[in-house]
A and B are shown apart, each in its own frame.
Chain A
Amino acid sequence: MSGWYAAAPLIVAMTTAAATTLAHAMPRTQRALSLAGAFALLAASIALMDAVWRGGMIVVQSSNWDAPFGITLAVDTFGAVMTLIAAITGAACLIFAIPEIEERHRRAWFHPLSHVLLLGVCGAFITGDLFNLYVWFEVMLIASFGLMTIGGTKAQTDGAVKYVALNLVATLLFLLAVGLIYGMTGTLNYADLSRTIPNVGNTGVLTASAMLLMAAFGMKAAVFPLFFWLPAAYHTPLVSVSAVFAGLLTKVGVYALMRAFTLLFTHDVGWTHEILLWVSGLTMITGVLGAAAQSEMRRILSWHIISQIGYMVMGLALYTPLAIVGSVFYLVHHIIVKANLFLIAGVAARLTGSMELKKIGGLYQSAPLLGVLFFIPAFSLAGFPPLSGFWAKLILVRAALEGREWWIAAAALVTGLLTIYSMTKIWGEAFWKPHPEGGEAAAPLAAAPAAMLAPIVTLAAMTIVIGLFAQPFWIVAERAAAEMLDPTVYAAAVLGGLP
């Protein structure tokens, strides 16, 4: 029966999506259902994490057909951690959304689409089947399309067009790769694939198909040079929407990359992971330089998503136990921090009237507490000790140095420095600089609804806790990495005695 732990997040998210649809004509009921659903998802994912932590990997053969014939849900530590963090982010952003969204946004199906998005994200983390992963990706994608357009400003429409068009390409590349891999192995189950892939004789075609998959996931993860859709769109939607996107969507791509290139395609590490290493370095540098060129808060933050994705891919590319730990740690830290920064940018814009740094200022005087709340995730993002981002970077840099990959270590450090540059730009302009329109132009923090501040405070507290008490998180990440690096355990858990 422990299998229901794995299915529970999906059932909860689906039920909430359906229920909020049915309650569409009743705003208060819908809102209550939406929040209840978000917390139920949180509870389900906590239960899942707990079950996985205590009992090891959870495997469910959905519809009760043995792997590899049916669809397997398989949750190891990594999957459980990601599900939990997705649920946390989802709940935080939905609470933030309550005061943010207006009636017309709500009527445009904000709540059901949000839960469909979370469903897709959780599904991607929970499934153990390549085609099923494709389906969850699409669930997530189509919901993100809708959420991206809610509000309907011109910039949003333009951003949505680019976002949609490029993601459609990624979708088809993914599907193409699934078809090719299925054609070579005759199976779709991760565990089964990890056993059959070494037997494929046509290794050139296999590697090429893996490359296609890498491109598809890389596009979702927004790595160099496939990130175009992200800076084109992420600064346009509602704040709560962009925050949940910033926290989760690209990370699903990273998750998929990590699954695929630890569990499935390790037959030609000298090629695939070397490419990933170059990609990661270029992603960091181009991303952080892109941020340096911006002067609008969310655009700066959007480019920083890209550069940070570079770090996560770097850990995967180095492909050592320590490096994988670094990637996992980085994922967890980054989701919390980045979602929070978008939320804070939203509050800052609410208090000062704009996201454009040139037009705002004075928050240091008018809302010092917001300064503290910004400072924590911003300097964590930049890798300042003793915040969460420091440990994440430390692990990765250490792994790079131990692996004698000097240039990637240098790229990681330089990117950290330029991240400081960007974060201090926001700090200097939005907080320190007096408001260009005079003293009264920046409102005090009390002007922001408590429902917006509560998630920000919670996420900032998590950043500090991860920073000051890193050891438990290290242990979790280490276990996740150890499981990932031993695919035979995963395969045995899913396939049991099958050859």
Chain B
Amino acid sequence: MEVPLALLIGLLTGVATWLMLSRNLIRLLLGFAVLGNAVNLLIFTAGRLTRDVPPLVPLDAEAIEGAFANPLPQALVLTAIVIGFGLLAFALVLAWQAYVRLGTIRTDEMREAEPPGEVKP
């Protein structure tokens, strides 16, 4: 199922890009969330898919008999999920604060740091 999954990841990436190009900050952050999911899936897939058993050694054994799912990408993705969550949570709070302070969530109306037309020699 790698090929369909690759296509799905591509689709999600495209969708996320589209969202991130939005002038609406909330849509942008939705895009980040979607892209995060796409990238996590990609790492997971890049470690090769398997329908074999999960990487849990039976409690009475020293090692798993036969093939098992690749545990390393799982650990990486787990870390990435958490980090992505931390970043997203902060970004959402920031979006709220942007609304409180600037009165808008549209990024093309946020012109405080680089005011339009003020670039003069």
Contact = CB atoms under 8 A, between A and B. Distances in A.
Say whether A associates with B.
yes
A172 B102 contact: no
A231 interface: yes
A157 B101 contact: yes
B110 interface: yes
B87 A158 contact: no
Contacts of B97: 149, 152, 157
A152 B101 contact: yes
Interface in B1-59: 20, 25, 28, 32, 35-36, 39, 42-43, 45-48
Nearest to B120: A295
Interface in A171-189: 171-172, 175-176, 178-180, 182-183
Given A155-B112, A161-B110, A141 B94 contact: no
Nearest to A168: B32
B32 A180 contact: no
Contact of A161 (B25, B86, B121): B25
A172 B73 contact: no
A131 B76 contact: yes
Nearest to B42: A179
Contacts of B79: 131, 135
B112 A157 contact: yes
Interface string B84-108: 0011001100110110011000010
B113 interface: yes
B91 A154 contact: no
A182 B47 contact: yes
Given A149-B94, A232-B114, A171 B87 contact: yes
A293 interface: yes
A233 interface: yes
A498 interface: no
A454 to B, nearest CB: 30
A164 B91 contact: yes
A180 B42 contact: yes
Interface string A130-161: 01001100100110011001001011111111
B44 to A, nearest CB: 8
A160 B32 contact: no
Contacts of A417: none
B113 A233 contact: yes
A294 interface: yes
Contacts, number: 111
> A interface, how many residues as a size bin?
35 or more
A161 B80 CA distance: 22
A162 B48 CA distance: 36
Contacts of A160: 94, 98
Given A154-B101, A158-B111, A182-B43, A168 B87 contact: yes
Contacts of A164: 90-91, 94
Interface residues of B, number: 38
A388 interface: no
Nearest to B79: A135
B83 interface: yes
B46 A138 contact: no
B43 A178 contact: yes
A15 to B, nearest CB: 21
A235 interface: yes
B119 interface: yes
A159 B115 CA distance: 11
A286 interface: no
Most buried by B among A180, A182, A231: A182
Contacts of B94: 145, 149, 157, 160-161, 164
Interface string A52-74: 00000000000000000000000
Interface in A275-306: 292-295
A155 B111 CA distance: 8
Nearest to A138: B83
A418 to B, nearest CB: 13
A165 interface: yes
A159 B87 CA distance: 17
A90 B17 CA distance: 36
Nearest to B110: A158
A415 interface: no
Contacts of A161: 25, 94-95, 98, 107, 110
B101 A146 contact: no
Given A157-B101, A158-B98, A158-B102, A175 B87 contact: no
Most buried by A among B20, B86, B94: B94
A208 interface: no
A9 B20 CA distance: 37
A169 interface: yes
Contact of A231 (B95, B112, B114): B114
Contacts of B73: 179, 182
B90 A146 contact: yes
A176 B45 CA distance: 12
B102 A157 contact: yes
Given A231-B114, A236-B113, 5 more contacts: A135-B83, A164-B91, A165-B20, A178-B76, A183-B45
12 contacts: A135-B79, A145-B87, A154-B112, A157-B94, A162-B110, A179-B42, A180-B46, A182-B76, A183-B45, A231-B114, A232-B114, A294-B119
Interface of B: 20, 25, 28, 32, 35-36, 39, 42-43, 45-48, 72-73, 76, 79-80, 83, 86-87, 90-91, 94-95, 97-98, 101-102, 107, 110-114, 119-121
